[in-house]
Amino acid sequence: MPGERAVAYYDEDSVTMAVEAALDCLRDFDPKSVDGLFYASTTSPYKEKLCSATMALALSLRRDIRTVDITSALRSGTAALGFALDAISSGRSDSILVTASDVRLSPPSGMTEQALGDAAGALLLGKENVIAEVLDCYSVSDELAATWRGEADTFIRSWEDRMTMDESYSKVMPEAISGVMKKAGLNTKDLARVVFDPPGDVRRHGRVAGELGFDPAQLLDPGGVFMTVGLLGSAMSFVMLVAALEQAKPGDKILFAAYGNGADAYVLQVTDAIGKLSERRGYAKHLESKGMMRSYNDYLRWRDIVPLDQARRPERGHISLAANWRERHVDLGLWGIKCRRCGTPQYDYGGMTTTPIRVCAVCGAVDDFDDYNFARRKATVFSYTHDMLSPSLDPPTSVAMIEFEGGGRSLFDLTDRNPDQVQVGIEVEMTFRKVFFDRGLNNYFWKARPIRC
């Protein structure tokens, strides 16, 4: 199959990618102003544990917010969007952050695997200064699923796609799109952009668009997201919508729809505020700053599809839930301190002792600190190594001592790096990653990476 696909790095999963998208989305917003966080995915790392609660700490959101995971459905992103809109229009919330993220696996070497991509999108919903207003929505529920995974399945299963295309996608998608247009009193010419999920056989996407009477120019670079990033599961419609918004002008009406056991369709109208929104990486800049994988073998290793030879290194101990909980703000939120007496920012994830910091390393003050967050600060590489002895899914293990802008330093793993381009003095930024897995628990933490773009 032609084109390119986005593949999550070995230390990414649907939670870390959702955090990455959310950080980009929240740029220049006060995270404390957000009233809720919804995480939509078919690839939650947990059957029983709330990922949005973990993400809320990484994003430094308030504690009195609504955190919800909406899982299993390929259209969980648009489902979450609907719940968020209902919460806001009912007056129960002013602002909700909705994320959709997926890292789906298909059995190796098949057509489905070639079609899949890994991605996340994030939308911040609110009442004021909106860049696009939701005009209407329409949903269709359908029992027929083209793909599924049972409780014990790692990989996607599917029925003969000719049948599911005919009886599912090709019926429910037009039904939802026509439904929302009729409800909103719009015809095809009123829409500046129409973005909707393609199915496994991407040709069906064009056929539906043609049958509905849309001009190819109304579609978003027809097939573009699919051909350059892949089929993105619950993140598909979000990523396509973000891509459409990046090209939109005030007044544009955008229709977007997601597919999976039925379909959800929305119509938005872009406002003047879009011109005032600060720059984000969004779709285009992330795509521009992509890195190329060396080989398919790396993919198989990163996704744990083929086992890695055991390193002759000591086993790391078990996760302590108690220690994780005690240090949740330090580890998940990357919170350190700023000493009130000497003003020195300090971050310490604990070398030998436990964190949080109790004694200032510069002036010796005890517990006389203000909280100080390092997650959104840039830093520079003070020194580094590429360690061949430390086991890694993408050797060498790159590690750097970094100095944060404004003060504070620490030793961090370097990720998304080209070893040849790491130098003393290069700028890095912090990114949320999966660092350890033990007995069903994921430990998430922050790594440094050369500034992406």
Partner 1 sequence: MAGSIKDRVAIIGMGCTRFGELWDKGPTDLVVDAVEEACADAGVERKDIEALWGGSIFTAHGGRFFTEALRMQYIPASHLVNACASGQDAMRNAAYALAAGIYDIVLAVGVEKIKDEGMSGLPGMDNRTHTHAVATMPGVFAMMATKYFHRYGLNPEEGKTMLAKISVKSHANGSLNPKAHLRNVLTVERVLNAPIIAWPLGLFDCCGVSDGGAAAIMTRADKAKEFRKDPVYLKALQICGTPSSGRITSEYDYTHVEESYRAAVAAYEEAGITDPRGEIGMAEVHDCFSITEAVTMEDLQFCERGRVKDDIEAGTFELTGDLPVQPDGGLKCFGHPVGASGIRMVYELYLQLQGRADKRQIKNPKLGLAHNLGHEPYAPLCSVCIVGL
User: Where do contacts with partner 1 occur on this chain (CB under 8 A)?
Assistant: 311-314, 316-317, 319-320, 323-324, 327, 331, 344, 346-354, 361-362, 382-390, 392, 396-397, 399-401, 403, 407-413, 419, 424, 435-436, 438, 443, 445
CB closer to partner 1 out of 217 and 322: 322
Per the structure block, which two tokens stand in for 233?
């599961």
Dist CA 361 CA 396 (whole Å): 32
Name the minimum Å distance from CB 16 to partner 1.
14
CB closer to partner 1 out of 272 and 368: 368
Residues 6+ apart with CB under 8 A from 97: 22, 25, 26, 34, 36, 37, 38, 59, 61, 122, 123, 124, 125
CA torsion 409→410→415→419, rounded to 10°?
80
Name the minimum Å distance from CB 311 to partner 1.
8
Q: Which residue, among 205, 249, 208, has the nearest Cα to 224 in the 3D structure?
A: 205
CA 415 to chain centre: 17
CB closer to partner 1 out of 203 and 318: 318
Name the minimum Å distance from CB 326 to partner 1.
9
CB closer to partner 1 out of 1 and 424: 424
Name the minimum Å distance from CB 60 to partner 1.
17
Helices 236-246 & 76-89, crossing angle to 10 degrees? 70
User: HSE on the CB side for 74, CA within 13 Å?
Assistant: 30
Residue entry with tokens 């917010």: 65
CB closer to partner 1 out of 86 and 438: 438
Neighbouring C-beta atoms of residue 136, cutoff 10 Å = 17
Element (H, E) at 79: helix 76-89
Name the minimum Å distance from CB 366 to partner 1.
14
Per the structure block, which two tokens stand in for 338?
């700023």
Name the minimum Å distance from CB 419 to partner 1.
8
CB closer to partner 1 out of 163 and 388: 388
Distances (CA, A) of 319 to 302, 364, 435: 21, 31, 11
Name the minimum Å distance from CB 383 to partner 1.
4
CB closer to partner 1 out of 256 and 347: 347
CA 379 to chain centre: 23
Phi, psi of 424 (to 5 degrees): -60, 130
The residue type found at 438 is D
CB closer to partner 1 out of 178 and 373: 373
Q: Which residue, among 165, 242, 162, has the nearest Cα to 198 in the 3D structure?
A: 165
CB closer to partner 1 out of 3 and 391: 391
CB closer to partner 1 out of 295 and 353: 353
Q: Is 416 left (phi over 0), alpha (psi -120 to 50) or beta?
A: left
Q: Can you spell out the DSSP letters for 171-215?
A: HHHHHHHHHHHHHHT--GGG-SEEEE---SSTHHHHHHHHHHT--
Name the minimum Å distance from CB 401 to partner 1.
6
Name the minimum Å distance from CB 343 to partner 1.
12
Name the minimum Å distance from CB 422 to partner 1.
9
CA torsion 387→388→393→397, rounded to 10°?
10
